[in-house]
Structure 1
Amino acid sequence: MKFSRKQISKAGEKLLVSKSDKEIEEALNVINLWRTNHLHPLVVLKNSLLRLLFKVNIDPKLVSQRLKRLTSIEYKLDLNPSMGLGGMQDIGGYRAVLKDVRDLNKLHNALISQRSIHKLERVVDYVDEPKNTGYRSIHYIYKYSSTKEEYDGLKIELQIRTKLQHNWATAVETAGIVTKTSLKSNQGPDEWLDFFKVVSSLFAIKEKLPVMKEHKYLTMEQLMVRCYNYCTDLNILNKLKAIRVSTNRIETDKFPGDYYLLNIDLVDMSVNIKIYNKRQFHDATIEYLRLEKSIKENENAVVLVSASSLKMLKKAYPSYFLDTSEFIQAIEKMNANCLERDYLHLP
């Protein structure tokens, strides 16, 4: 079914402000149908990306896709009420995580010069100019072209980032669970926000990228001292280690599925996984909506994603498993260097 931008924005407004259970239910059904329409364009564009990666001889760390969660949709609408749901460009999103900046630049150049019937409407480079949170990635907004009206004109977002940038973003999302705030939206305790900004600049130095503007006149050693002090004062690493969840499934690469519906329980610290094949995607989206209606804020989270195996799923979306082990290892190594080289006593 084809929906106009006006119809979708109206459904988004009802979701936020209506007091009628019936109106909210109708709005949710419209939004879910529209969200489901993004799945086919998402698969097509992700497959096109895989072919491009092969063509330019880049072996990605991972490639994944997801449909945006209702809670994320509502939160984004609440932050940007003038945008309207019909103007949201990342309902369908896919991502490539690359080994290093060299591969990142190589893929970026290939994407810019790629010829496609799907219009590349916008590119936002948060790598050279990070967000004020320290977030780094390059975003590409595509307008999908199709003879089928339900798909034609839908917006799909691609994000590409390095493994180090991915580890940072994962840790920020997971730390949001610890602080019960949206750190990735620059909301939460100042000291936690400042910690992640410092780490963003330290990771940037490692990747030979620009540091954040506020750190322009600080040395690497001074940033390492700040990182160490935040970790010590806030007990950051132990808090991140303490909230890793367990899966209610056997971990194997032989999972016979195309889509994974994750239901994360933040009280029991576990995640239940339902698996669907390509023919069952409609059933998956119906169940997705059913679970979303029942979740409680700060207790549950639900998301429908795609990956080639459970192992790759955990690598693609470690924040859904509250897994920050690679981030923690990087920080522990920096802190050890800080102590070994006696930076704490620098003037």
Structure 2
Amino acid sequence: MTHWEVPLYSKSRVSKAGNRVAKHIQEIGSSSHSKIQEIMTDDIDVINNYRASHAFPLNTFQIALRKCARDIDPDAIVAQRLKRMPTIINKLSIFTEMNLARMQDIGGCRAVSSSLPETYEISEKFKSRRAKHELLNIKDYIQEPKSSGYRGIHLIYKYYSDRKNTYNGLRIEVQLRTRLQHAWATAVETAGMLLKQQLKSSQGEEDWLEFFRYASSGISILEGTPTLHSDKTEEEIKHNLKQLEEKLHASELLTAVSNAMQRRDEAPNLKNAFHYIMKVDIETKDLDIIGFPKKETLTANRKYALMEEEYRDNGNIDIVLVSVESFISLKSAYPNYYGDASMFINTIKEIIDKNPSK
């Protein structure tokens, strides 16, 4: 029995499934996402299979990325994840012209390094590998931050193997970040979960969105890269960030979440696992983790789909399937699921207290 899900449907069938879901969202409104899985079972099955099929090529890229990253930064954090079904559906609803079969980030792996020079060095080393995969796109969001404040380097590849063409053509996204950029990105997700707002997709209260924009610019100053607020001085950025932080009590709120979050282990072999399903209850601040060894990739993916179905109507539950090399690495790779924004909070304090450069 194979350990990997294989694509069961043509790209045309996948595209049609995505288009039908997107059209249905337009007709009934995005607030009814939870009902989609119930009334569009066949299409959701197609999407689930297509998503799970990315696990094999994703693992191939993760192994290569881990080697590149560790050669340059022995302390680099490397992880991989398959995109959550609610996130896929939400993306289809926002970008209604998107072709699901060409979505670039269903499977993604990430390397978080200690410094900016190391991040760029990893990028160059990874791109220069002798591999047949096609590099489709490069996005340097460090030099040109997204309007949300997001920063990092994205490399989009099309998988290719001349030994077995089962997975050829599937797209994998490789993300490269510094630890500070990672702290910002995961703090956005922590706040988004807590507030039940899609801050990551630039949807939510404007004050919170603006707070994270200024936080991003503050981190850019620390790292010596272009800021999102190129029309503002360093002192103005610091002043505006401080005002928003105090208005929202952002650090206090994020600290309270971290202190409240509880973790319960649902499997005795978590320390020997490679795949982890993380289920967080936003209301009770409980985090449940189920671990699977690497050879049970197929089982983990199917359990993930079943749990998404089970909790689809519960807006307090957030579920994700991630893979890291050790249980110790899990919290560093995904601190948002532990409610841990401590590095981000400390960085905000550093920015606010920092004397402006002369």
Using the size of structure 2 for normalisation, the TM-score is: 0.87
Aligned to 2:247: 233
Aligned to 2:332: 315
Runs of 4+ that moved beyond 4 A: 18-23, 250-254
* Residue from 194, 204, 213 that aligns with 2:220: 204
Amino acid at match of 2:15: S
Could you list the per-position Cα deviations for residues 68-87 of structure 1 after superposition, in whole angstroms to 9, with x for gaps in the alignment?
11011001111111112112
Amino acid at match of 1:151: Y
1:331 pairs with 2:348:
yes
1:98 pairs with 2:109:
no
Q: C-alpha displacement at 1:247, in angstroms? A: 1.0
Is the Cα contact below 8 Å between 2:37 and 2:309 reproduced in 1? no
Query: Which has the larger displacement, 253-262 or 99-108?
Result: 253-262
1:59-208 mapped onto 2 (5 Å cutoff): 59-146=74-161, 147-208=163-224
Taking a change above 3 Å as real, the CA distance of residues 218 and 300 of structure 1, as seen in their structure-2 partners, is: same
What SS class does the counterpart of residue 170 from structure 1 fall into?
helix
Number of matched residues? Answer: 336
What SS class does the counterpart of residue 40 from structure 2 fall into?
helix
Alpha-carbon distance in 2 for matches of 1:53, 1:240: 30
Could you list the per-position Cα deviations for residues 118-143 of structure 1 after superposition, in whole angstroms to 9, with x for gaps in the alignment?
11111111110000011001101111
Give RMSD over aligned pairs.
2.3
Runs (5+) with no aligned partner, structure 2? 1-5, 26-34
Is the Cα contact below 8 Å between 2:53 and 2:167 reproduced in 1? yes
Taking a change above 3 Å as real, the CA distance of residues 178 and 22 of structure 1, as seen in their structure-2 partners, is: closer
Query: Which has the larger displacement, 89-98 or 18-27?
Result: 18-27
Alpha-carbon distance in 2 for matches of 1:221, 1:154: 46
Amino acid at match of 2:243: N
Aligned to 2:281: 265
Q: C-alpha displacement at 1:235, in angstroms? A: 1.0
Is the Cα contact below 8 Å between 1:178 and 1:239 reproduced in 2? no
Q: C-alpha displacement at 1:20, in angstroms? A: 8.5
Alpha-carbon distance in 1 for matches of 2:270, 2:193: 31
Alpha-carbon distance in 2 for matches of 1:179, 1:30: 31
Is the Cα contact below 8 Å between 1:175 and 1:240 reproduced in 2? yes
Q: C-alpha displacement at 1:236, in angstroms? A: 1.1
Using the size of structure 1 for normalisation, the TM-score is: 0.90
* Residue from 28, 39, 59 that aligns with 1:43: 59
Amino acid at match of 1:62: I
Calculate percent identity across the aligned residue pairs: 35
Could you list the per-position Cα deviations for residues 49-100 of structure 1 after superposition, in whole angstroms to 9, with x for gaps in the alignment?
1222344x33243000011110110011111111121121111100000111
Is the Cα contact below 8 Å between 1:249 and 1:272 reproduced in 2? yes
What SS class does the counterpart of residue 271 from structure 2 fall into?
coil
Q: C-alpha displacement at 1:274, in angstroms? A: 0.9
* Residue from 293, 304, 308 that aligns with 2:309: 293
What SS class does the counterpart of residue 164 from structure 2 fall into?
coil
Runs (5+) with no aligned partner, structure 1? none
